[in-house]
A = this chain, B = another copy of it.
Amino acid sequence: MKKITINSVASYAGVSKKTVSRVLNNEPNVSDATREKVLKAFKELDYTPNPIARGLARNRSFIIGCLYDNPSKSYITRLQSGALAACHEHGFNLLIHPCELRAEALLENIEQLLQTSRLDGLVLTPPFSDHAELVAFLRKKGVPFARVASVKLDDDSISVRSNDEQGAFEITELLINMGHKDIAFIKGHPDHSATEQRFNGYRRALKQHGIEYQERLVEEGNFSYHSGADSARTILHLNPRPTAVFASNDYMAAAALKLATQMNLKVPDDISIAGFDNAPIARHIWPGLTTIAQPVEEMTRLAVDHLIEQINHATDEQQEGEQRQPLQLTLEAELITRESTAAPKA
């Protein structure tokens, strides 16, 4: 059982291997008859082009790297799933690269990754998508990249985000409309742009409804369950105690819920609790968490899809002189109401 290469196909179809290469790459300037012959040879020989050989000739790896550093496993798998979908659609592969944002040698680490794996592009997920230094570094090196769930940094990079500010606004407004006035807030990790956005949405809702902002009701978390537990401990012992807690993600909200239960507070009767992200835990606990669902897979899929198109058209564009618009999209988030929120007891 010999290996089937472009040469096998060429001799089988009775053409040169350059012609085979042309139909492989959907290039023009091949007569329909010739194309048919070659296509038939592909089928009959069960030929699959060798991406490694193609990569060497074109100086490409057909691999996209995905950077992440996130405490939420479900978030990570959703990112991966969206990125994979886009990669497969274009015949690319995905290399996952978990790494620590705060590591000393982050840039060196990334540089080595690029050097050794010869990635064609990088998809940056939070908090890397907001890492200005990293973005500048990649731009300087000429490495194509796309940013997921980030703030606007500039005008010419691919970026897909969801409307965190609006989501936080809506969940806060929901609580206000239920009759809450003392609504505590647990912030996320300061390195994530989502943290500020969600905080802004919270404040905008308060303001719009004429409720005074109270600094004593705001705690700093970092998106981890543990940080949520710490923040909740402070909040739940406040006097007077707020009637609602809005945590910047579901893990921190779950921690607040667990603590409330341990303190014999009924949720939502004694205290309402809301989260953000619609992680699996939001529906796995009782009461289920009111939260905000973001289209994480779709965001990542779109970002990687455009990244690969940019990579693929890099050469064409030079010729055609036609600069394509970089994608900058904001998708909407969705409010999900569950049992953890209700009107405060009179």
Residue positions of A touching B, CB distance < 8 A: 48, 50-53, 55-56, 61, 63, 73-74, 76-77, 80-81, 84, 91, 93-96, 98, 115-118, 225, 251, 254-255, 257-258, 261-262, 280-281, 283-286
Number of copies of this chain in the oligomer? 2
In the bound assembly, the distance between CA atoms of A315 and B298 in angstroms comes to: 44
Chain A interface main SS type: helix
A73: contacting residue among B98, B117, B280, CB under 8 A = B280
Q: Which residues in B have their C-beta under 8 angstroms from that of A84?
A: 96, 98
- Asked if B51 and A80 make an inter-chain contact with CB atoms under 8 angstroms apart, the answer reads no
CB distance from A258 to the nearest CB of B (A): 4
Q: Which residues in B have their C-beta under 8 angstroms from that of A283?
A: 225
- Asked if B280 and A258 make an inter-chain contact with CB atoms under 8 angstroms apart, the answer reads no
Q: Which residues in B have their C-beta under 8 angstroms from that of A255?
A: 284
Q: Which residues in B have their C-beta under 8 angstroms from that of A94?
A: 95-96
CB distance from A329 to the nearest CB of B (A): 25
CB distance from A33 to the nearest CB of B (A): 28
In the bound assembly, the distance between CA atoms of A50 and B258 in angstroms comes to: 52
Q: Which residues in B have their C-beta under 8 angstroms from that of A281?
A: 281, 284
> What is the chain B residue whose CB lies nearest that of A61?
B52
In the bound assembly, the distance between CA atoms of A180 and B73 in angstroms comes to: 35
Known pairs A52-B56, A52-B118, A258-B285. 15 more at Cβ < 8 A? A51-B116, A51-B118, A53-B56, A56-B56, A63-B93, A81-B98, A93-B95, A94-B95, A225-B283, A225-B284, A251-B284, A261-B286, A262-B286, A281-B284, A284-B285
